[in-house]
Structure formats: C-alpha cells, structure tokens
Amino acid sequence: MAKAAPDGYTFLVSSNSPLVINPGLFRNLPYDAERDFAPVARGVISPNVFTAHPSLGAKTLPALVALGKREPGRVTYASAGPGSSSNLTVKMLEEASGARFVHVPYKGAGQAVVGLLRGESMFMVSDVNTVRPHVESRRVIALATTRRTPSLPGTPDLAEVGYPAIKSDLSFGVTAPAGTPVVTIRRLWAEITKSMKGPPLKERLEAQGMIPAFETPEEFGAVLKSERARYAEIIRRNRIVVE
C-alpha cells in the first residue's frame, strides 16, 4: 500500500494498530506511517472492554484494581502479544492506578480469549465484539469499556469508574497512498460518511458493537498523529520490545 500509485484506485482499510502502535514498537518498518499514507476516513470505532474470569471474584474495574494493589504480581492478564492494544491498555491502567498485574502474552486475540475462558489468565482487554457472546453467556464478566456502547448497555466506561485519561479504542479506517489528489480523498470521504449514516449500514455496524465515526480527513489525520505520539510514549516508558 505504501508503494502503490496515488491514482485514486487503491485504498487501505485497516485497524489503527499498524498506523499508530507499530511505529513506536518496531524499529525497521518498511513504511512510514505518517509520510506514506493520506487519511481518508476513520470509519468506525470498536470500544475495548475489560473482561474477567468469574473465578477472579472481581465484578468491577475498581475491584480489579484493588486486587492488583493488594497483591501485586499475582493477578494475570491475557493479551494478543507484547505491544498489542490489549497489552498497552493494561499498562495504561497500571500507570493510572498503581496496580500491578502479570502479563501472559498469546499469539493473537483468539488464543488470548481461549486462555481467559479456560481460566489460564484472570482478565483481558479486547474489542467488544470479540467477547460479547461470552459476556452474554456469563462465561466472563464485563468490568468496563473504553467508551459507552449499546452492545453492553449495563457496563460503565472508564471515565465513569475513575479513569477518564485512558484512551484506547480499536478503530478501522480508510487511508490512501500519499499524494492521492485531495479531490479524490474528499469524494471518497463523503461517500463513506453518507453510507454510514444510512439505516442499513448504521444498524449493522452497531449490532457488531461498532460506532460510526464522522471525522473529516484532516480530523482523522490529527487523531492518528496524537495516537502515534501517545502509544510511542507508553511503549518507551514500559520498555516494551518485540523480538
């Protein structure tokens, strides 16, 4: 994608991780996330959710934090791997609360969820859509979401439980090769925005726990830049290294 011709015929749909986390995590990326991609539309936001295994005994995020303070180094959490959004979100909670947990990295979010369901790890952070069926079946407990979502109407968000500064949503956006004509980018942004406001797509996205985002290309670019700086600093402070 970074090497594609900026002719208006090639666009990338991806999660925000390759554009905001990877630049601070990997030293030799074959692309420059800011230089090589032109923001088009943020698309959708998929809130993350803290979920716990029932055996942990914590039914709220404050209760989880209390355990992490009272017995630092005992409570384990699963993640999709070092430097993943799930790992970094817990690091944000540790920094904000003073609690300490034990990281159990898995090879991807799917394996991490299986580890949580088996009780191999006591809690994890993942996007709402991934774990909602397990919350509804009561195999795991939803403690808090990164932002309010109709998918889990009874679950408070981080601001409501005392951590408004933690920002860690998964999102799926559209970018174009750098140099793509502005008129082309604006046209695609307008069409994406129009389609997401239509009832069929809007309802389908919300059913999957996704929240439509309507930032302009310029606003989307500002979000990416801010997230890159924030994640890079978290990675640096916690000395997270991917081999």
How would you write the pLDDT of the chain (243 residues) with one tens digit per residue? 999 999 999 999 999 999 999 999 998 899 999 999 999 999 999 999 999 999 999 999 999 999 999 999 899 999 999 999 999 999 999 999 999 999 999 999 999 999 999 999 999 999 998 899 999 999 999 999 999 988 898 999 999 999 999 999 999 999 999 999 999 999 999 999 999 888 888 888 888 888 899 999 999 999 999 999 999 999 999 999 886
DSSP letters, 53-103, are -GGG---SHHHHHHHHHHSTTTSEEEESSTTSHHHHHHHHHHHHH----EE
β-sheet with 211-212: strand ranges across: 12-15, 170-177, 37-46, 211-212
Residue 68 lies in a domain: yes
Asked if residues 209 and 128 have their Cβ atoms less than 8 Å apart, the reply is yes
Q: What is the CATH number of the domain that holds 78?
A: 3.40.190.10
* H/E stretch holding 23: helix 22-25
pLDDT the model gives residue 206: 81
**One domain for residues 68 and 113:** yes
Q: Domain range holding 202?
A: 12-46+169-236
Nearest-5° Cα angle at 42, 40 to 44: 140
26: its two tokens: 């990997």
Length of the chain: 243
Residue 3 lies in a domain: no
Distances (CA, A) of 216 to 189, 192, 193, 222, 223: 7, 11, 9, 10, 11
Residue 182 lies in a domain: yes
User: Furthest-apart CA pair in the chain: how many Å?
Assistant: 58
Residue 79 lies in a domain: yes
Residue ending a domain, among 145, 178, 196, is 145
User: What is the domain count for the chain?
Assistant: 2
**One domain for residues 130 and 188:** no
pTM: 0.92
pLDDT the model gives residue 243: 66
* H/E stretch holding 200: helix 199-207
Residue ending a domain, among 145, 179, 196, is 145
